[in-house]
Amino acid sequence: MIQHWRRLTFLHWRYPPDQVQALLPAGLTVETFDGSAWVGVIPFRMAAVRPSVLPALPWLSWFPETNVRTYVHGPDGRTGIWFFSLEAARLVPVLIAQAGFGLPYRWADMSVDDHGSTVLYRSRRRWPGRPGARCDATVRAGAPLAPGPLDHFLTARYRLYSRYAGRLVAANAEHPPWSLYHGEVTRLDQNLAQAAGLPGPGHDPLVHTSPGVRVRIGMWRPV
């Protein structure tokens, strides 16, 4: 699949590793930084989503998305992303991703509104899972950021894990390095982390923003 990820905000919170590990499938081990697991809520806009051999379709290939994720070690000795949920505003891509990729996509009522350096994200889950699970955020992008070790840990991720047909699988995500910026959250009302089975964050998030990248997602391979 070819995808363009645009106007992203990375919201990350520290969690005790055992709380995150309890939600992972067999074969995956939570990856930590400074002794903490990290859980991210990442709202953004999907654009020109398509199989690599086909053109993007009007309307269907453009939609908001918000994913909830953590970072893991796989049994293959590599590291990557585990998704707790992925909200998307188009039902057809949700059904395709559920059936064809084994990803926990949820259909949601969503919007991403640009106001210069400020972005307003809105999401309300429709189906399946916890109805009304939400993420409303207003984020202001700041100055460019020179990534340090933690910034790389949270954003420089090029591998995805999932369970498909009863097996643990992985796929590579190829894209250029992120252009990262500082971010300020001026409003946040979210319970997607809680809908995934985690306790509510007990502190403000670490915030990064990015204008986005073009991504190629490879085929699932058994781990």
The identity of residue 89, as a single letter, is: A
The domain total for the chain is 1
Question: pLDDT tens across 127-178, in order?
Answer: 999 889 999 999 999 999 999 999 999 999 999 999 998 999 999 999 999 9
CB-based contacts of 156: which residues, under 8 Å, 6+ apart?
147, 177, 178
- In a domain, residue 32? The reply is yes
Task: Report whether the peptide linkage leading into residue 128 is cis, meaning its omega lies within 30 degrees of zero.
Answer: yes
The identity of residue 174, as a single letter, is: E
pLDDT grade for 101, boundaries at 50, 70 and 90: confident
Under 8 Å between Cβ of 115 and 96 = no
Under 8 Å between Cβ of 193 and 165 = no
CB-based contacts of 82: which residues, under 8 Å, 6+ apart?
24, 28, 69, 70, 71, 72, 161
- In a domain, residue 195? The reply is yes
- In a domain, residue 37? The reply is yes
- In a domain, residue 145? The reply is yes
Full-model pTM = 0.97
- 59 pLDDT above the threshold of 90: no
Mean pLDDT value across the chain = 96
Distance of CA 14 to the CA centre of its chain: 16
- In a domain, residue 149? The reply is yes
Length of the chain: 223
The CATH number given to whatever domain includes residue 27 is: 2.40.400.10
- In a domain, residue 223? The reply is no
Q: Domain range holding 191?
A: 2-218
Q: Cα-flanking dihedrals φ and ψ of residue 135, to 5°?
A: -150, 105
pLDDT grade for 89, boundaries at 50, 70 and 90: very high
